[in-house]
Structure 1
Amino acid sequence: MYQYPQRLFATRLSDKEILNKMKFGLLGYPVAHSKSPALFAAAYKHSPHTYELLEFPDLLKGLEAAVKGGYSGLNITAPYKEEVLSFVHNADSLTSEVAAANLLLFSKGEIKAFNTDYEGVKSSVADFVTPGIKALVTGCGGAGRAAALALRDLGAEVVIANRDYKKASKYASRFGTAACPIEHVPQFAKSARIIIDTIPAETDIYGNTSFDGKLIFEANYRNPQLIDKCTAEGGKYLSGIVWLVNQAIPSFRLFTGENPDSEAMELLASLW
């Protein structure tokens, strides 16, 4: 694990200052498009806490800037959810199983990692999952793995599809799910009742597969690719905004120790 210079932690705010005002943020590259600051503002309207964007092409420099800047915690987004685990002192069991983190807490000279993507997916799709329902997750990055694990724990039969089949197979073995090469997506998508798409690049991997009667949950809310096809073919579409909100609620609670105004967050998200 990377050893941070102690001088960085020495520059942090005092405990008294932290209690009065805490700084949080989102670290990734790029992040200028993120809606997380607006969600945080809605969650804590009368709070002195702040939430900022930290856009760094180098993860280590971003982490050092956050520690030096007195941040109490960070959300982590692409492309750093996996890499960041090399720079933390410890991670909870869920984060270790997913092997990806989207939240860090800074406390007493240490950095602890968490994963709220899992809860974001689980709470979003729980009403649609019945025992043994077939589900397909496309992509095996941090978001895809959290989605696969959440579906598995809800009782679905999960297949993970990925361009790097060896990676998909590795995590499928760990999770007790199945895996397939990305080229086989049309075959598995036909029988799947739930499809969670976490592939960020614009691509058509579904071929002529009809989305009729399927739940399509697309992580990419910035530039969605599947909503028109899903709507036209009679599927049920869930926007990545739903995932964003449902992972932000436990994230913000971990940050502050206070319950966020989830109704205000959902109201704001409904306008996007």
Structure 2
Amino acid sequence: MSAVPAARAAQPSVLAGLIGSGIQLSRTPAMHEQEGKAQGLGYVYRLIDLDALKLDNSALEELLTAAQRMGFTGLNITFPSKQAIIPYLDELSSEAQGIGAVNTVVLKNGKRVGHNTDCLGFAEGFRRGLVDAPRQRVVQMGAGGAGSAVAHALLLEGVRQLTLFDVNPQSARTLVDNLNAHFPGQPARVGDDLAVAVGEADGIVNTTPMGMAKLPGTPVPKALLRPELWVAEIVYFPLETQLLKDARALGCRTLDGSTMAVFQAVKAFELFTGLEADAERMTAHFHSMNG
């Protein structure tokens, strides 16, 4: 009888979670838990939904403290907390520092260390899904936490000019200043006329939550799209947002949010466990889920 508890005790364990708003449809917990199971880990991943708990970003410090006290290995952070979490962290990785946003927090040795795996996640998906896509001029919708990571990824992938639009002009200006400091010669700018910018662009990326199940709609009117554009999304529930539906109807090349979702999770898994994740296995599991 005593052999069973002993075997369980010897099994490495991970307790992780996701903090964000409206995250009940997230596939991240299942991806992490399935990959953990495949690697022989006792892996538990919990949703900490600010909406369901009737909380907002003012609760982030309290949630971090609670997670540390309960022995969490780490936390993923999503909308709307990727920038708001930073003041409550002890350290930032160089990527998170440069991007100015955090989507993964490792809790270890009493410290809270912020990382950003969104940039790597989007870049990997872009390379795989939009091979040889023209990238002279790109329009990006959104300049929040995810937008910061995607903008860095786009410039790392060779976009020559990036035009940013955001409902908060100051957010767009702050991100543009950051990008121009990091990528001299690849100018970023704040957009002022969406129709003109899209008309000159090779591609469009949506990094806003517009198009999510809880925020239906599209950030770019269908009338502005044309077949020559490529269109990329980071929203993945639903996988086919209104923007992608409109773009596909015109024959545009498209990239849905699945690859960024998978590859940011691959890197986060590695940060939480110290083990190499199987990206193909995690991709297959992502697509096996309904929704």
TM-score class normalised by the smaller sequence = 0.7 to 0.9
Query: Which residue of structure 1 lines up, in the alignment, with residue 269 of structure 2?
Result: 252
Aligned partners of 2:64 and 2:10: how far apart in 1?
18
Gaps of 5+ in 1: 1-16
* 2:234 pairs with one of 216, 219, 242: 219
Whether contact under 8 Å (1:186, 1:205) holds in the other structure is no
Q: What are the residue-to-residue correspondences of 1:91-130 with 2, within 5 Å?
A: 91-127=92-128, 128=130
**Residue of structure 2 equivalent to 1:180:** 190
Of residues 41, 53, 64, the one that matches 1:47 is 41
Distance (whole Å) between structure 1 residues aligned to residue 169 and residue 220 of structure 2: 17
1:36 to 14, 28, 31: 28
Q: Give the whole-Å Cα distance in 1 for the aligned partners of 2:29 and 2:218.
A: 32
Could you say if the C-alpha distance between residues 19 and 161 of structure 1 is closer, same or farther in structure 2, counting changes exceeding 3 Å? Answer: farther
Runs of 4 or more, structure 1, over 6 Å off, are none
2:279 and 2:133 map into 1 onto residues whose CA distance is 26
Q: Are the equivalent residues in 1 in contact too, given 2:12–2:41 (CA < 8 A)? A: no
Say if 2:256 is the partner of 1:239: yes
Q: Structure 1 residue 206 and structure 2 residue 209: aligned?
A: no
Instruction: Structure 2: state its 5+ residue gaps.
Output: 1-8, 181-186, 211-215
Q: Is the 8 A contact 2:31 2:285 kept in 1?
A: yes
* Count of matched residue positions in the alignment of Structure 1 and Structure 2: 255
Structure 1 distance, partners of 2:235, 2:120, is 17
Retained in 2: the 8 A contact 1:161–1:179?
A: no
CA contact (8 A) 2:89 2:113 kept: yes
Name the amino acid aligned to 1:40. Answer: H
- The aligned counterpart of 2:80 is 79
Quick one: distance in 2 between partners of 1:246 and 1:190?
Answer: 31
- Provide the TM-score with structure 1 as the length reference: 0.86
In structure 2, what is the Cα distance between the partners aligned to 1:42 and 1:186?
44
Q: Please give the secondary structure, in 1, of the residue aligned with 2:73.
A: strand
Deviations 1:134-178 (A, max 9, x none): 211110001111111111111102111112223212221221232
Any idea what the Cα deviations from partners look like across 1:203-255, whole Å, max 9, x if unmatched?
Answer: 44433212413221112222422121011100122221221001111111111
Counterparts of 2:251 and 2:118 in 1: how far apart (Å)? 27
Name the counterpart of 1:7: none
Displacement of 1:132 after TM fit? 5.3
Please state how far the C-alpha of 1:87 moved relative to its aligned partner: 0.2
Contact residue 211 and residue 229 of structure 1 kept, 8 A: no
1:179 Cα deviation after fit: 2.5
Q: How does 1:15-34 map to 2 (within 5 A)?
A: 20-34=12-26
Kept in 2, the 8 Å contact 1:81–1:102? The answer is: yes
Q: 1:269: Cα distance to partner? A: 2.1
> Residue 24 of structure 1 contacts residue 71 of structure 1 at CA under 8 Å; is this kept in 2?
yes
Which of 205, 212, 233 pairs up with 1:196? 205
Secondary structure at 2:242 match in 1: coil
Q: What secondary structure is seen at the aligned counterpart in 2 of 1:230?
A: helix
